[in-house]
Amino acid sequence: MKFKSIIGSKYNAKKEAYKKFPWLKDAEIEYAEVDISRNYLIWKNGYWKNGYWEDGTWENGTWQDGIWQNGTWQDGIWEHGTWKNGVWEGGRMWSNLLQMYQDITQENGKFKVN
Return the pLDDT at 19. 92
Residue 32 sits in which domain range? 3-113
- Cβ atoms of residues 33 and 4 within 8 Å: yes
Backbone φ, ψ for residue 22 (5° rounding) = -60, -30
Return the pLDDT at 82. 74
What's the domain count of the chain?
1
Count of CB atoms situated within 10 Å of the CB of 58: 24
Q: Is 32 left (phi over 0), alpha (psi -120 to 50) or beta?
A: beta
Helix (H) or strand (E) holding 16: helix 13-20
**Maximum separation of any 2 CA atoms in the chain, in Å:** 48
Give the residues across from 110 on adjacent strands.
Answer: 107
**Is the per-residue pLDDT at 4 higher than 90?**
yes
Return the pLDDT at 78. 76
